[in-house]
Chains A and B, each alone.
Chain A
Amino acid sequence: MPLVIALVLLVIGSVVFHFMSPWFLTPIASHWDTVDVTIDITFWVTGVVFVAINLFMAYAVYKFRYNKDRRSLYEPENKKLEWWLTGVTALGVAAMLTPGLFVWADFVTPPEDAMIVEAVGQQWHWSYRFPGKDGVLGIVDNGAVTDDNPFGMNPDDPNGQDDILIASPEVHLPLGVPVKALLRSKDVLHNFTVTQFRVKMDLVPGLVSYQWFTPTVAGRYELLCEELCGIGHHTMRGHVVVEEPAAFEAWLDAQPTYAELLAKAPGDAAAGAPLYAVCTACHGAQGEGNPLLNAPKLAGQGAWYMKRQLEYFKSGVRGSHELDVFGQQMAPMAAVLADETAINNVVAYIQTLPDVPAISTVMGDVEHGEDIYETCAYCHAADGSGIQSLNAPRQAGMSDWYLVTQLKNFKQGIRGQHPDDGYGPQMGLMANILPDDQAINDLVAYINTLEIKDAEASE
């Protein structure tokens, strides 16, 4: 008897939960409402079956409970009933499948005039490429990928020259225009999913897959990787901004083409030297840093990283959080650098400064820190030298007290949560594995013991 009640309650509970639950499909933001309709049909068919069979079973368990004076009905089979049930089931299955196949046919045939955008996945971030004016994407090859050519472009391919390269996890798309997203991976399987668009597809290294959709609601949507891609899988996120076509065009025009990127001159250290004069006051003449002034060591840090941070400080991505006291000091200093060239030059100058390991100031349990660093080593490398292609800066031999501050800032959301900070949230998620200040100290104490084996190779 309790079983009968339990079965009935479970059925009722499941149905009530379905209708009352605040957790259901997010509001749709693409033209794929047909997918939602198919889900509805499936819900109705399966829901009826679920309720009917289980209530029937509950009734049977109740009505035919044991009675020692009674015998079961002897009925090995009932052909007619069985064929009826088979037929009805087949009908129900067909009712669910048929609309599904029609929608799928739509999904596999993107419209001819769909706008092309290529999404490039790699451990553990996104970048994008638009075909530019000629409408044709240039040839790419994973074998050609280097730190300077992260897209694996072929400099000799004329089609590639006007390709627009978006080296940021955020991409913009126009409202109401069909988009065919070509999907390409540089390393492992990934998956391009915007929950509100309802569709998804894997990125497979070695081939180009696709999906298409027409964004129908303006907004900023989270892009998730939904195919396990290694230890940073959960941090591989991006954003898709859907906006009016005019705004989109304006955004796209502001992005660099491949030819423009190629034409950029490298930073000039000689020109950077006078610019660095401003920095010496805090960071020291040799870029050695000064803990008393909360200025970290700069010498030896990756150029790409310093360049990005200077741009962040300049544009208010960093140093604008009210609790980021020292960052607020840096922001106006970065503003002194007039433009990208100035930034490149000063960074080039810093690259020429001698890299002397910073003095250790943080004490902690090195063994415990080593345990924790296992996770960090995936991106920042086992010797703490950092890996540019993973956006992971160098840590070994840099100012340890600064690492402590920044880890706390990441953990508390003081750093890395600005909407324009594409790579910060990643570190925010990862810093969360440090439960308390002691763990941070232990970790940094371990980093202090690291030595970069081949200083040349790490730059």
Chain B
Amino acid sequence: MAYVAHDETAYVAPLEVEEEHLYHAKTWLGKYVFCQDAKVIAIQYACTAMGIGLVALVFSLIMRLQLGFPNTFAFIAPEDYYQYVTMHGMIMVIYLLTALFLGGFGNYLIPLMVGARDMVFPYVNMISFWVYFLAVLILVASMFVPGGATGSGWTLYPPQAVTSGTPGSDLGIILMLVSLIVFIIGFTMGGLNYVVTVLQGRTRGMTLMRMPLTIWGIFMATVLALLAFPALLVACIMMLFDKIIGTSFFMPAVISMGEQLPHTGGSPVLFEHLFWFFGHPEVYIVALPAFGIVSDLLSTHARKTIFGYRMMVWAIVVIGGLSFIVWAHHMYVSGMNPYFGFFFATTTLIIAIPTAIKVYNWVLTLWHGNIRLNVPMMFAIGFIFTFINGGLTGLFLGNVTVDLPLSDTYFVVAHFHMVMAVSPVLVVFGAIYHWYPKMTGRMLNDSLGKVHFWITFLGTYAIYYPMHYLGFLGLPRRYYAMGPTEFMPASAQSLNQFITIAALVVGAAQLIFLYNLITSYRNGKESGDNPWESTTLEWQTAETPPGHGNFGKDLPLVYRWAYDYSVPGAPSDFLPQNLPPQGGSAEGIKED
């Protein structure tokens, strides 16, 4: 077997972009605020997302305080608790993870990694961020209106979300829905950019199958988001109609606080279908970019080609496609036609196969590698461990029968936090440690990074692994307080306290990370252009951080895929994508 072959080298003219085609900021506002450079927009997205995410993190700690030590903190009343629950979930899933992976990493990495000067529609891209920012503002505003933010859980199920037994059932829910609608509009603008840039903006030689998996993940996640967010949009608009105009799309005849409401005949289950038709792909909107990024981190730091690249690409595509026909596994016990359970359990468990393949391929990428165990790599390996755990518990919940005792318990909470919160967030951290040098020209502090990794990795496992067992015990989720029960041993409460303490420690550890981010910006070690000796194009820019237009005068030409690590016979253990083949020299091995 031989792996590397090439044809004779032919001279190819580099791709030049004329100066006037590029956007140039003329004012300070244009350069730093209303900037159309994808890299600046990326940082704006990332900072906004992490800012609001920090708020959601604090909310989660307040929730944990209440759960671990009920009746201790007078400032957490039941309505506050349910508002924290709702805002925490909504912010983390949509305003943090979706925005950070697609708006943040997507904007930063897509043009650089495919060899483009910028997104194809920079103006729309800029608007996209500001619309997102507006959505965040509306969301924050909803916490300060009379009645406060909605406390209906992030799923916003009607009739509960709009009837007065729920906190924030007037202005709170209206602003929440408006904020989501605005978010979706903004996201669609950004999403069009990400997709079209991947399709059209690639430099010469960057065929689809030479793209790094990061781009594949972000690309497919964006496609999913573009097709799935309309479902949420439809649900939000219809619920707004129900709330404001008094239609009965989702609202059946109900009694609220002893009074008949004017609605008749609507179907809450219809809302659930629409919500999860968006909600399930949303899981993969967050997961696929993480899958992609972690593949690149593993390959780079193990100095080894990603194992089974084609299988990896196909797994991403298949997962994306299947994610549209599994949504009702969130609704096994929702009162929908129970016969749907057969179909959705089957599709759900089928989706486990491509997902498992990805895990195998990550682990096989480490096998026979030459592993540099630096901070990004530690986060990547931590991700694999967490993701295996979270993925396997998904097989419990996806299997309709096993879901019966476990749904709506802490098992579900533990599962989705493991798979959709901790796993992607470990990747986010790994990715920030990995790309921070490119974004700032300086390395993040290694020792602080390691401390951050250990506390986060072990701490989150200490939070969520035992939590599954509270679920087995039957502890229901979204309970302000369990109070005395007959079927749970008293020791369950001490486990709850342990989890709370672990959560506080993990929460505090994130301050180390913030400190590292801020201080390294000035004091970090200079990184040089390619500190990790990586092959992909973003590391081959002339300047670090890359200047406006990304690549200087000439766009790079791509001669090879993104994973030429440790090519037999090559002088170094990595060959950048834009390195021309040296005709028939050491690197070339004849095919047998």
Contacts of B341 in A (CB 8 A): 104, 108
Q: Is the CB of A231 within 8 A of B492?
A: no
Contacts of B457 in A (CB 8 A): 6
Contact of B160 among A85, A107, A228, A387 (CB under 8 A): A228
The 10 closest A-B pairs by CB, nearest first: A206-B252, A195-B474, A230-B165, A209-B335, A73-B368, A226-B408, A72-B304, A389-B258, A188-B160, A72-B566
Q: Is the CB of B3 within 8 A of A432?
A: no
Task: Identify the stretch in A131-139, A140-148, A247-255, A320-328 within 8 Å (CB) of chain B at 4 or more residues.
Answer: A140-148
**A contact set with B: CB distance below 8 Å:** 3, 6-7, 10, 14, 17, 21-26, 32, 34-35, 38-39, 42, 45-46, 49-50, 53-54, 56-57, 60-61, 64-67, 70-78, 81-82, 85-86, 89-90, 93, 96-97, 99-101, 103-105, 107-108, 122-124, 141-143, 145, 147, 183, 185-189, 191, 193, 195-196, 198-207, 209, 220-222, 224-234, 372, 374-375, 378, 381, 387-390, 425, 428-430, 432-435, 439
Closest CB in chain B relative to A76 CB, distance in Å: 5
> Does residue B369 face the partner (Cβ distance < 8 Å to A)?
yes
Q: Is the CB of B408 within 8 A of A204?
A: no
Q: Is the CB of A73 within 8 A of B304?
A: yes
Give the complex CA separation of A17 and B498 in angstroms.
14
Contact-residue bracket for chain B = 35 or more
Q: Is the CB of B77 within 8 A of A372?
A: yes
Q: Is the CB of B465 within 8 A of A231?
A: no
With A60-B369, A89-B356 given, is the CB distance from A107 to B401 under 8 Å? yes
Q: Is the CB of A3 within 8 A of B402?
A: no
Q: Is the CB of A60 within 8 A of B370?
A: no
Q: Is the CB of B489 within 8 A of A22?
A: yes
Of B71, B480, B485, most A-chain CB atoms within 10 Å: B480
Q: Is the CB of A89 within 8 A of B373?
A: no
Q: Is the CB of B370 within 8 A of A67?
A: yes
Give the complex CA separation of A25 and B409 in angstroms.
12
Contact of B472 among A24, A143, A225 (CB under 8 A): A24
Q: Is the CB of A96 within 8 A of B399?
A: yes
Give the complex CA separation of A191 and B157 in angstroms.
13
Q: Is the CB of A224 within 8 A of B476?
A: yes
Q: Is the CB of A191 within 8 A of B305?
A: no
Contacts of B350 in A (CB 8 A): 93
Contact of B480 among A73, A185, A201, A233 (CB under 8 A): A233
Chain B, residue nearest A102 (CB): B401
Closest CB in chain B relative to A127 CB, distance in Å: 13
Closest CB in chain B relative to A202 CB, distance in Å: 4
Closest CB in chain A relative to B449 CB, distance in Å: 13
Task: Identify the stretch in B100-108, B358-366, B535-543 within 8 Å (CB) of chain A at 4 or more residues.
Answer: B358-366
Closest CB in chain A relative to B434 CB, distance in Å: 17
Contact of B165 among A3, A82, A231 (CB under 8 A): A231
Contact of A72 among B268, B352, B369 (CB under 8 A): B369
Q: Would you give the 0/1 interface string for B32-52, flagging 1 where the beta carbon is closer than 8 Å to chain A?
A: 000000000000000000000
Q: Is the CB of B405 within 8 A of A221?
A: no
> Does residue B381 face the partner (Cβ distance < 8 Å to A)?
yes
Q: Is the CB of A23 within 8 A of B495?
A: yes
Q: Is the CB of B255 within 8 A of A231?
A: no
Q: Is the CB of B345 within 8 A of A435?
A: no
Task: Identify the stretch in B259-267, B286-294, B500-508, B520-528 within 8 Å (CB) of chain A at 4 or more residues.
Answer: B259-267
Chain B, residue nearest A200 (CB): B333
Q: Is the CB of B395 within 8 A of A64?
A: no
Contacts of A50 in B (CB 8 A): 388-389, 392
> Does residue B269 face the partner (Cβ distance < 8 Å to A)?
yes
Closest CB in chain A relative to B250 CB, distance in Å: 9
> Does residue B549 face the partner (Cβ distance < 8 Å to A)?
no
With A198-B405, A228-B153 given, is the CB distance from A57 to B384 under 8 Å? yes
Contact of A234 among B361, B368, B480 (CB under 8 A): B480
Q: Is the CB of B366 within 8 A of A61?
A: yes
With A73-B566, A187-B255, A227-B408 given, is the CB distance from A432 to B402 under 8 Å? no
Q: Is the CB of B151 within 8 A of A77?
A: no
Q: Is the CB of B396 within 8 A of A23?
A: no
Contact sample, A vs B, 26 pairs, CB 8 Å cutoff: A3-B378, A6-B458, A17-B466, A21-B469, A45-B395, A53-B360, A71-B568, A72-B565, A93-B352, A100-B399, A101-B400, A103-B401, A104-B341, A104-B401, A108-B338, A123-B256, A188-B157, A189-B157, A198-B405, A202-B335, A224-B474, A229-B160, A230-B163, A231-B78, A372-B77, A430-B78
Closest CB in chain A relative to B549 CB, distance in Å: 33
Give the complex CA separation of A187 and B258 in angstroms.
10
Contacts of A429 in B (CB 8 A): 481, 483
Contacts of A57 in B (CB 8 A): 363, 366, 381, 384-385
> Does residue B60 face the partner (Cβ distance < 8 Å to A)?
no
Chain B, residue nearest A93 (CB): B349
Contacts of A24 in B (CB 8 A): 469, 472-473
Chain A, residue nearest B360 (CB): A85
Of A103, A234, A434, most B-chain CB atoms within 10 Å: A234
Contacts of B392 in A (CB 8 A): 46, 49-50
Within B391-450, which residues are at the interface with A (CB < 8 Å)?
392-393, 395-396, 399-402, 404-405, 407-409
Give the complex CA separation of A77 and B345 in angstroms.
31
Contacts of B302 in A (CB 8 A): 64, 72
Contact of B487 among A39, A222, A230 (CB under 8 A): A222
Contacts of A228 in B (CB 8 A): 82, 152-153, 157, 160, 478
Give the complex CA separation of A110 and B318 in angstroms.
37
Q: Would you give the 0/1 interface string for B162-203, flagging 1 where the beta carbon is closer than 8 Å to chain A?
A: 011111000000000000000000000000000000000000
With A26-B474, A38-B399, A228-B152 given, is the CB distance from A107 to B256 under 8 Å? no
Q: Is the CB of B573 within 8 A of A187?
A: no
Contacts of B487 in A (CB 8 A): 26, 195-196, 221-222
Q: Is the CB of B404 within 8 A of A60?
A: no
Give the complex CA separation of A403 and B338 in angstroms.
47
Give the complex CA separation of A369 and B373 in angstroms.
57
Q: Is the CB of B461 within 8 A of A10?
A: yes
Contact of A231 among B82, B345, B488 (CB under 8 A): B82
Contacts of A200 in B (CB 8 A): 333, 404-405, 407-408
> Does residue B590 face the partner (Cβ distance < 8 Å to A)?
no
Q: Would you give the 0/1 interface string for B283-313, flagging 1 where the beta carbon is closer than 8 Å to chain A?
A: 0000000000000000000111111111100
> Does residue B511 face the partner (Cβ distance < 8 Å to A)?
no
Q: Is the CB of B368 within 8 A of A64?
A: yes
> Does residue B23 face the partner (Cβ distance < 8 Å to A)?
no
